[in-house]
Each structure stands twice: as C-alpha cells, then as structure tokens.
Structure 1
Amino acid sequence: MSRPVSAVSQMLERNQALFVGKRLLVCGALEDDYPRQLAELTDSLTVFTTDYCYYLSQQEALGDNILFDHQLGGAPRFDALLLLMPKAKAEAQYLLAMMAPLLEAGADLLLAGENRGGINGADKLLAPYGEKPIKRDSARRSSLYHGELGKPVAPFELEAWFSRYECLAGDTALTVMALPGVFSADGLDLGSQMLLASLPPMTGKLLDFGCGAGVIGSVLAKRNPALAVHMVDINALALESSRRTLAINGVQGKVYASDVYSDVAEKFQHIVSNPPFHAGLKTFYAATETFLEKAPGFLAANGSLTIVANAFLRYQPILDTHFKRTEVIGSDTKFRVYLSKV
C-alpha cells in the first residue's frame, strides 16, 4: 500500500538533479514512498530509519537498501546525505553526528523539512560540518538547504548521546537512560507518574506498550521481581534506551520492535501503557485506537489493560466497546487512568 506523497517530497521532486548518480544516504522523518524514486536516480541508495512502522512499509520494495536500527556504522562510503528533519532538534543533531563519519570529504549535505518543523535552523545544525548552506528551494511550506562536508568529522560515540537522570515513582527509585527525542528523555512525565501510582502488585506477564525510555516497564520490574516484562515500541532509539534503563537498574525485560501488535506473539496478564498520540508535527490517534481495539486478543483470561491518557482524549467509548468493564482508577484535571478487564 503506497503512502500519500508528503509536501516535503513534492518539493524534493523539483530538485531531483541533486541526487542523480550519487551514493546517497537518507535518514530522518521518512513519511512516504519517495525513496523508491531516489533508488532509480542514484548510483546507490541506503535508507536508514529508526521507525519500525516505516521500515515494514518499505522493506519489500527497498530490500537490503533500508535499515532499521538505533545506529549505523562503517567506513566512509557516501557522497551525499539527505536528512529529513525530525521533530526534535536533538534527534537531528544525533543523526548528523552519526552519519557524518560515513560521508566522504566534500559530500553534499541536504536538509529538507516543513518550515514549522525546525528546518529554518539548518544553518546552525550544519555549522559543525561546513560553511553556511544555501537555500535551494522553498515550496509547499517546506524548504531545502544544501551544504557541503568541509570540516573534519569526529568519530561517532553512542555513549555520549545518552541523557541520564534519577527519578522516584512512589517509593521506587529509578535511573533512566535515554537517547535524543525519546519520550521521557528529560524526566518522568506527570501522566506516567499517575499511572505508576495507580498500579497494584503484579504477577505473570506484562506488556509495556510504547515503552519510550523504559520507565514504566523498569519500575514495574523493580516492584515485582517475579513479573515477566515485555517492552515494545516502533522507535529504535526508544528500544535501545529501554534496554539501557533495564540494565542500569539491574532488572530483566524483553525489548523488541513492534508496529502495534505486529511482532507480539504471546498473551499477557497485564498490558500497561502511556500510549502515544503524537506522530511528528501532527496529532495522530490511529495506532493507539488499534492498540486499544485489539488489546483483548492479547490478554489472558481475567487479564487487564491499564492506560493513562490526557483527559480530553475520548478513549472511554473505545474501551467500553471492546472490554467487559472499564473504570477510571485515577484522575485529575489533566489525566485519567483507565483500568479495563476482558
């Protein structure tokens, strides 16, 4: 199934001469099938994505040319980089620092994105790598900047990009490790605090859906030593953050990529989540609604789903439709914690 062509890709289509014959590396906020066009223009194409949903959608068409992971390494082998601006500036900095050592001296540095999404900060982003870039195009509320790799590049050190902080969830102390742009990278959010305060002791198997930096799953693993914790997310940076958070706290959990339930093959006594409802610059509910609708099929008999959500989100009707019983077990003016049972 093809994806609608984004405004950024429509602008890039006007500038395809920049990609002809290049050994091109593409990364960032990939949204559509445009890399398939680039594969026909370039000498070679590598697409690197941290988004498992996008990876699954393009894997058949791009084959070995698309890679999903939190890090890409190797010797310099590309003469052009196209970075599609992610929502978080820190993530853009992370991707540039990772990709620059893979580029040959003098390589083209192409940054593209929506004007409201930080692309106008391209000058500062590219400053460590070369002279001031030129603005190649501006169309459909998007812009394309073009620079050149003209400065020495330091080797990429993954460890330097982790933020680390201590937090307290009730009486459970936790050390959190997080890569740029990951949910809970800067501190324990109020919604997750309320969710964790509402949960009783647990046994059996638990699924932490949309695990982010791994706060929920790691806290519950610390509180409930016999609990078998599974943690899933579509973001490779989140998955690596969760692995590090588990490890530094000395607790065990199984962490893996899944587009909603695409890679979930077991049933659980508990599903717990602070589900995402933002994707990039747009508010996006579809994945969370699918998560809620299909949850009963991944719960064991007498299993339960517990989520926290912004009070304005209309999840109660969805939960009432798919579960036998739903109650609000925690609330304030901003959040509600729902407990649903099959």
Structure 2
Amino acid sequence: MRSTRLSLALETGALALPATGALAVYGPHDADDMAAFDKTRVKAVQGHFPDHRRLSAMGFDMAAEGPVEGASAAVVMLPRSKEQARAMLAEAAASLPHGAPVIVDGFKTDGVEGVLRDLRARLPVTEPISKAHGKTFAFVAGPELADWTAMPREVEGGFRTVPGVFSADGPDRGSVLLAAALPDYLPGYSVDLGAGWGFLSRAVLARKGVKRLDLVEADHAALTCARVNVTDPRARFYWADATEYRADGHADHVICNPPFHAGRDADPALGVAFLRAAAGMLSPEGDLWLVANRHLPYDRALKELFQDVAEIGGDSAFRLTRAARPIRRRR
C-alpha cells in the first residue's frame, strides 16, 4: 500500500515535510494515497473525474489541474505514462520555493525505478524506501527539470494533445476504423461517450444532419484538448464519469470507443458499464456505434441491452458494431 511506504518514510525521519504550509499532492487516487498526510494541509491535483469526485467528497481540497501555488512541499504520485510523470515532477518543482522538498512515490508497475534512475542523472536524490512493490524518495525543488515541462503537441489531422492522455501520439487505430465506418447521415442529437481529445467527435460533426454533440470525458486534460480541437458550436463539453452521465433528453446516437482498464488492471466490466450507460441514454429507436478489441467479452452485454446487434466491420484486432433499439426493462 502506498500509505504504508509514505508513513514509514515520514515516521522514521527518512523524509521530512515542512511544519507549516500547504502540501501539494499530485495524482492521488483514493483515501489510502492520502492517509499519511494532514487533510487540512493538502491541496490535491487529480484530473480523473471519478477519483477527483471521490476525494472531494472526503473533504480534500481538490483541483483538476495544477500547478498548486503557495505550497511549501509537494508529493508526486507517479502515473504509468513516463512523459506525464516527468511533466508532473517538473510542474511540482517549478511551483515550489527553491530548496523545498518534492516527495516521489510510485509502484514498480508504473515505472518508478526508471524515474528514479532519470532523476539521479540530474540531481541529488534521497535513498529510496522500498516497500509494497514500490519506492518513495525525495529531491529538492530547483530548475533542473525545466525541460521536462509538459508541452502541447500537434498530431496527425491537426489535433492537439498533451502527455498522459490516451493515444497522445495520434488517433488510435480503433477510432480511425470507427470514424471511417460512420454513416454519412447522423441526424439529431449524438453523444461521444469517452470522447478523449476529440478525434471521433470531429468525425461525427462532419456528418450531415447533426444538430448537437455532447463530448463526455473523465480525463480533464483530454477534455481541455478537445475544447481546442472541436470548435463547432454544436459541441458541448462535459467533464464527467461516462458510466453515470445522463444525456439531456434521449440521444439519437452514441459513439463510443470505451476504455477497458481501471487504474493499473484490465477491467472489461468498465467497458460493459459504458455500454449500459449508452443504452440508457438512447431514444427507443437510437443506436450505438462501437469499436472495441475483438477479445473483449461484450457480445452478451450487447444482446442483453439492444434488440438489434450487428458487426459492421473492423480488422483482426478491432470489431465495429452497430447496436440499435435499446431494450427497456421494467423496474
């Protein structure tokens, strides 16, 4: 557990925090991540909507993005993306007074050993504490990580992305396949469920008959990119948990390339939750346009949720599906 490592580091004096001032915590996911710290001092940054909402409900002072100004120390909980981890570390160090401590915590599965190695090549780092499949260590804030600062990039098609968002190097193959398979005519009200940085949304808005498109995305950084990439006045943007989002009225179409990882672990149930949400927000004659990896077990859920289910294309890795006429069950 992360809290065990952090508590051990602080209790033994291996790492120390200033006695006063706010503590900036980047990337926490749950209460365990925060257990070692005084809640009244924490100012946390978490852009993933479900984690942000959960921690906010526990009484933590939350922001969707940084930097945190006025903090006396920072804790960076490493994400899996190396580029995003570097950007978080650079942001934390740049926002603190020179010489203030930056504590780094990460799991081996998230690449903490590589980050430790890269930091040691640039600046002094404390001896790491290794426990519970991870490491905790610290360095002092200074200018050494300035070149790790996150910079927006332009990818194929003129889209903007930032480090850490899904498919930051360009549109993923599944989304490209689905965009090409969408019909020329998509009349009415559509929802891009899990819209990311807006690739599929732009494809939807290029079709005839679209009156409105909701972009629903849990990753605040990705949605910020989508606002830049999709400037059509028919688009509306929602930072939300897609599995709980309720469309404003019955949608005519839902377009979806659902995730199937929850945190570090594969979780096909997350994709199924997207399918249930899609079925629940569609009109009686509405349809779902779906791309998913072929190995994912969505067939049963689709048949339980829709009267008409048809494979419409794909390739060896991805399946394209149109599912229409959601089944309404009596309560």
- Count residues in correspondence: 318
2:31 is the counterpart of 1:33: yes
Aligned with 2:214 (options 209, 215, 230)? 230
- What CA distance in whole angstroms lies between the structure 2 residues aligned with 1:121 and 1:156? 15
Using the TM superposition, give the Cα deviation of residue 85 of structure 1 relative to its aligned residue in structure 2, in angstroms.
0.7
Displacement, 1:340?
0.8
CA separation of 1:255 and 1:68: change in aligned 2, threshold 3 A: same
Measured in 1, the distance between the counterparts of 2:178 and 2:18 equals 51
Question: Are 1:15 and 2:9 matched, yes or no?
Answer: yes
1:67 and 2:51 aligned: no
Over 3 Å counting, the alpha-carbon distance change for 1:148 and 1:277 in structure 2 is: same
- Counterpart residue number, 2:238: 256
User: Which residue in the other structure is 1:211 paired with?
Assistant: 195
1:313 and 2:292 are equivalent in the alignment: no
**1:286-317 deviation line (CA, Å, top 9, x unaligned):** 33221212322201121011110110001010
Work out which of the residue numbers 50, 54, 57 in structure 1 matches 2:51: 54
Q: Report 1:171-210 matches (<5 A).
A: 175-200=158-183, 201-210=185-194
Secondary structure of 1:161's counterpart equals coil
Deviation at 1:54, TM superposition (A): 0.3
Change (3 A) 1:245 1:207: same
Give the drift of 1:88.
0.5
Paired AA for residue 26 in structure 1: V
Q: Is the 8 A contact 1:206 1:272 kept in 2?
A: yes
Identical-pair percentage: 25
| Cα distance change of structure 1 residues 127 and 223 upon mapping to structure 2, 3 Å threshold | farther
8 Å Cα contact 1:101/1:156 also seen in 2: no
2:220, 2:118 → 1: CA distance? 22
Structure 1 stretch displaced more, 269-278 or 219-228: 219-228
- Contact 1:87–1:280 (CA under 8 A) maintained in structure 2: no
Aligned mates of 1:144, 1:156 — CA distance in 2: 20
Give runs of aligned pairs for residues 237-248 of structure 1, distance below 5 A: 237-247=221-231
Q: Which amino acid aligns with 1:228?
A: R
**Residue 308 of structure 2: aligned partner:** 325
Structure 1 residue 261: Cα displacement = 4.2
Whole-angstrom CA distance in 2 between matches of 1:152 and 1:333: 45
C-alpha deviations, 1:246-281, integer Å up to 9, x for none? 13xx66511111112434342211111111112343
Letter in 2 for 1:15: A
Shift of 1:39: 4.3
The CA distance in 1 between the partners of 2:115 and 2:145, in whole Å, is 18
The one-letter code of the counterpart of 1:216 is L
TM, length-normalised to structure 1: 0.85
Per-residue deviation, 1:124: 5.5
Task: Tell me how far 1:115 sits from its aligned partner.
Answer: 1.2
CA, structure 1 residues 153+120, in 2 after alignment: closer, same or farther (shift >3 Å)? Answer: closer
| Residue 145 of structure 1, aligned match among 137, 141, 161 | 137
Question: Which whole-Å CA distance do the structure 1 matches of 2:301 and 2:7 have between them?
Answer: 40
Task: Give the C-alpha shift of residue 337 in structure 1.
Answer: 0.8
Please give the alpha-carbon distance, in whole angstroms, between the structure 1 residues aligned to 2:234 and 2:160.
15
Q: Distance in 2 between matches of 1:14 and 1:73?
A: 25
- Cα 1:313/1:329, change in 2 over 3 Å: same
Q: Which runs of 5+ in 1 are unaligned?
A: 1-6, 168-174
Label 1:324 to 1:272 Cα distance change in 2 as closer, same or farther (>3 A).
same
